[in-house]
Amino acid sequence: MSKLGNLGARLHRGEVGYDFVKNRKIWYGISILITITAILGLAVRGLNMGIEFQGGAVFTTPKHMSTSVSQAETYAEEASGHDAIVQKLGDGSLRIQIAGIDTGKSDQIKDALSKDLKVNSEQINADLVGPSWGQQIANKAWQGLAIFMILVVIYLAIAFEWRMALAALVALVHDITITTGIYALVGFEVTPGTVIGLLTILGYSLYDTVVVFDSLKEQTKDITRQTRWTYSDVANRSINGTLVRSINTTVVALLPVAGLLFIGGGVLGAGMLNDISLSLFVGLAAGAYSSIFIATPLVADLKEREPQMKALRKRVLAKRAQAAAQGEPDADRPTESSFGDEPEDAAPAVVGPRDQTASRSRGRGRPSGKRR
């Protein structure tokens, strides 16, 4: 842990670091490849929408049922003519979910299940969801997501600038696309819990992104007044300075979510945890990736297109070439962590100790240092 803390301090001071911005084309390529895979998964397999979005019925049997889950699925599919999802609850009862059926046939399906399961039909509880209500829930979910995106862009454009708002929006779309694509590929059911998970991970992704953007904003206030760093240099330093913090917060958030997904859903068989835990797990990982490898490098790309930043880059590269020609060590590698302390018209700094012995001893022993 001490080594990790020491590494974080050295990254923050700029003593060590990785050039994320320089290798941005690699990260863009990886993201595009993953995103295309996710889109293909959505196009080919589609999302397994839950009953809340497409309507249907949920039947709950009495406690301590001896019928297996696979056998109950067979009974439900034979009775309804549709695919069924059966989950065994903690008290031994069965939760049979059949989506896409006409709610008017629920009594007929309920009677058929009671005969197959050998229980009284009155002991089976039926919860019906109409298709119109399910469509309304789906529309509300999309509306909530759209409003969230608009508010995020407006806030970031006011608090920072439109380039950072655009980069954050691209990162959010990147995270949503990957998460929904994973859902399509693995076939997990999409429920209201999934939507809640998506909104939650978008908040986490924005948190990491805003932390880097805030550092970048502070360090680039007077960037055009110096000739030592380009905007991409500062952006890269901002990423490295917050890298350990982002990794720590992401790992701490992923550990309990992994427990829900792999232990709760996989080992213990609590399938109802899968819908929200998968979206959280994939989204948190994608959000951390996009904050570091997508959002900030994209801001650097957009800023470097400005005339002021182009001119600054020319001056910086010219100065580094001149320093390299004079044989100065590490002339092309910035190592400072503060900006605005080297104006273009500033006089050369005095290097080495200054001789102030005579002036200091002149007023010794007198409060004001003046001669009487």
User: What CA–CA distance (Å, rounded) separates 175 from 181?
Assistant: 10
Run of H or E residues at 268: none
Look at domain 56-129 and name its CATH class.
alpha beta
Task: With residue 61 as reference, give the H or E element that holds it.
Answer: none
Question: Could you list the pLDDT tens digit for every one of the 372 residues in the chain?
Answer: 555 556 656 665 556 667 888 888 999 999 999 999 999 989 998 888 877 777 788 888 888 788 888 888 888 888 888 888 887 777 778 888 888 777 678 888 888 888 888 888 888 888 877 767 667 777 887 888 888 889 888 999 998 989 999 999 999 999 999 999 998 888 887 887 788 888 888 888 888 888 889 888 888 888 888 888 899 999 998 888 888 888 888 888 888 888 877 776 555 555 556 778 888 888 888 888 998 899 999 999 999 999 999 999 999 898 888 888 887 655 445 444 444 444 444 333 333 333 444 444 444 444 444 444
Beta bridge partners, 94, equal 88
Instruction: Output b/e per residue, 69-93; b: 16+ Cβ within 10 A.
Output: beebbebbeebbeeebbbebeeeeb
Percentage helix, strand, coil for the chain under 3-state DSSP, each rounded to 5: 65, 5, 25
State how far the Cα of 167 lies from the Cα of 225, in Å rounded to an integer. Answer: 26
Cα separation, 233 vs 362, in Å, equals 47
Residue span(s) of the chain under CATH 3.30.70.240 come to 56-129
Residue 101's SS3 state is coil
pLDDT of amino acid 32: 94
pLDDT at residue number 12: 56
> Which CATH superfamily groups domain 2-49+133-308?
Multidrug efflux transporter AcrB transmembrane domain (1.20.1640.10)
CATH 1.20.1640.10 positions along the chain are 2-49+133-308
DSSP letters, 8-52, are HHHHHHTSS---TTTTHHHHHHHHHHHHHHHHHHHHHT--EE-HH
